[in-house]
Amino acid sequence: MDVIWQATLASFSMLMTLDDRLIEVILLSLRVSLTALVIASLIGLPIAACLAFTRFPGRKIILVSFNAMMGLPPVVVGLVVYLLLSRSGPFGVFNLLFTPTAMIIAQVVLVTPIIVSLCRESLESMRREYHDALRSLGATPAQAISVLVWDGRFTLATAHLAGFGRAIAEVGAVMIVGGNIDHVTRVMTTAIALEASKGDLVVALGLGVVLVLLSLTINFLVHGVRSLGEAKGAS
């Protein structure tokens, strides 16, 4: 117990002194996850809008597929991306394996279904609610989509925060495609796994504290965004 207590105090000391080792890992984690979130948003939002506002053959199959992909095992995603980016894979010529780019690709695959499913559900619900009003005003499909996206911005932001939470906490996929290389692809989750296996509880606990704080921050932001959206709706 004394060892754990001492390691906890030492980890807080490293955080307070902005230890270079920790800061490097934290910044890389944020850069990879935020980049993946932006790319997933650029891919997912148009798909969500298309599924929410149009009807076509095979739509339900696509909806079920995206809902199922929300529960994809991260290690399976990591393995598939690894095979695609390996030297014998179709994209091996780009030499992306064991780079931050490979980690971003894996996280995009994991986050995109979350954004598509949650945003589609929100936009479709709002479309039913505003359908008569938009029709009476003679709004074009493009105008209707822009109005609903703006009016539902708080709910859509909640979906993106959920996606970021999935990305920043990912370990299996990024471990496979990134290789957990020091100063290159080592992020918080993979560093915690490595340091804990080595018995270096100081670094593991320090990064664990940061992850917990990020998780709490995301949850508070989700709650705040929802409350703000409900307040706007009530007014």
- The pLDDT tens digits of the residues spanning 154-178 come to 888 888 988 998 999 899 999 999 9
Query: Which pair of structure tokens corresponds to residue 13?
Result: 């000391």
Per-residue pLDDT at 233 = 59
Q: How buried is 11 (Cβ within 10 angstroms: 0-12 exposed, 13-18 middle, 19+ buried)?
A: buried
Query: Who has greater pLDDT, 113 or 217?
Result: 113
Return the higher-pLDDT residue of 20 and 111: 111
Q: Give residue 7's pLDDT.
A: 63
Report, as an integer, the average pLDDT of 1-13.
64
- Residue 6 in any domain: the answer is no
Question: How many domains would you assign to the chain?
Answer: 1
Residue 13 placed within a domain: no
pLDDT at 12 over 70: no
pLDDT grade for 106, boundaries at 50, 70 and 90: very high
* Tokens linked to 137: 């005003």
Please tell me whether the overall predicted TM-score, pTM, comes out greater than 0.85 for this model.
yes
Distance CA 187, CA 207 (A): 9
On whether residue 226 sits in a domain, the answer given is: yes
Q: Is residue 10 part of a domain?
A: no
Residue 5 falls inside a structural domain: no
- Label residue 8 by pLDDT band (50, 70, 90): low
12 within some domain = no
pLDDT tens track for 128-146: 877 777 777 777 777 877 8
222 domain residue, yes or no: yes
pLDDT given at position 214: 82
The predicted pLDDT at position 11 comes to 64
| Helix/strand/coil for 176 | helix
Give the residue numbers spanning the domain of 82. Answer: 19-234
Considering 60-64, 141-145, 226-230, the range whose residues carry the highest mean pLDDT is 60-64
Tell me the CATH number at 105.
1.10.3720.10
Residue 77, in any domain of the structure: yes
Question: Rounded distance, CA 100 to CA 179, Å?
Answer: 10
